[in-house]
């Protein structure tokens, strides 16, 4: 039985995407995994879900360093967007950042549940 129905992965690195999808499936975390290459794509996808009145993913894994729209920009946009959402996803920042400023900044967003250092492991998933 899957832990969560659907997961959104916003990540520009294809290897990371592949690895994450594989792990999430292997651990039965979720079988319905959508990945987007940057924040902008992620927002556009979520907007589409809202417009089609489809429920949003339960979990969002969000990278920070992405082209076009990075993780922070996504969070800014989504903060506005979630006000019209039926269900609000839990957002986990998934990053290989070592900058403490990023961790501090993450706490400023109430919609961010936690910050996870890459690589994503089975242990991380089990805690969620």
Partner 1 sequence: MNSTIFTNTFSAQNVLEAFLAGTHDSFLIVDNNFSVIAFNEGYKKFHLNFFNDVVAKHINYFALTKANTNLKVLHQSLVAIQKNMDVLKFTHPLTSTQESKNYWFDFELHPLFNDENEAVGFGIGIFDTTQKNTSLEAIKKSEELFKALVINSTDTFQLTNEELKVSYVSDSVKNILGYETEELIDNHFFNFIHPDDKVIISTWLYWLLHHPGIVKSVEVRIKNKKDSWIYIEINGNNLLHVDKIQSIVMNYRDIQAKKVVDNALAIAEQRMSLLLNNTKESFIIVNSRLRVVTYNRAAQEHSPFFFSQELQSGISLLDLVKEFDVEDIINMFEKVFDGEEPERETSFVDPTNKLHVYNHRFRPLYSDDDIVGVFITSTDITEKKKAEQKLIASEERNRAIIQESFDVMLISDLQGVVQETSPSLFKLLGYTAEEVVSKNFIDFIDVNYREGATTTFNALIAKPDSEESIDTLMLHKEGHKVWVVLKGKNLFHNKHINSMIIMLRDITARKEAEEVVSLSEQRFKGLVQSGADMISIIDENGVVKYSSPTVFNVLGNDPMTDIGKNVTSFIHPQDRDWIISEFEKMLSSGVKQSYLGPYRFPNSKGEYRWLETVVTNLNDDPAIKGIVINSRDVTETNRLNEEQKALTEELIKNNQDLQQFSFITSHNLRAPVANLISLLSLFDKENLEEPFNKVLLEKFEEATGQMNSTLNDLLEVLVLKTNTNITLEELSLHSISQKVLNNLDNILQQNEVTVTTNFSAIDHVYINKLHLESIFQNLISNAIKYSSTERKPVINIDSMLENEWIIVKFSDNGIGIDLERYKDRIFGMYQRFNASKEGKGLGLYMIKAQIMAMGGKIEVESEVNSGTTFKVYLKNNGKI
Q: Which residues bind partner 1 (CB under 8 A)?
A: 12-13, 15-16, 18-20, 22-23, 26, 37-38, 40-41, 65, 67-68, 73, 95-99, 118-121
What helix, strand, coil percent values describe the chain, rounded to 5?
A: 40, 20, 40
- Please identify, using beta-carbon distances, which residue of 55 and 121 lies nearer to partner 1: 121
Nearest distance from residue 55's CB to partner 1, in Å?
27
Query: CA-CA-CA-CA torsion for 97, 93, 113, 101, nearest 10 degrees?
Result: 30
CB of 4 to partner 1, least distance (A): 20
């Amino acid at each position: 039985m899957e832990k969560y129905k659907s997961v959104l992965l916003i990540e520009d690195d294809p290897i990371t995407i592949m690895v994450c999808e594989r792990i999430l499936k292997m651990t039965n975390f979720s079988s319905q995994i959508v990945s987007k290459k940057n924040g902008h794509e992620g927002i556009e996808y979520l907007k589409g879900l809202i417009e089609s009145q489809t429920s949003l993913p339960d979990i969002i894994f969000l990278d920070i360093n992405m082209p076009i729209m990075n993780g922070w920009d996504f969070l800014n946009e989504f903060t506005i967007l979630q006000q019209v959402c039926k269900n609000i996803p839990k957002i986990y920042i998934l990053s290989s950042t070592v900058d403490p400023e990023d961790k501090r900044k993450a706490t400023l967003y109430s919609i961010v549940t936690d910050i996870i250092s890459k690589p994503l492991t089975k242990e991380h998933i089990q805690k969620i």
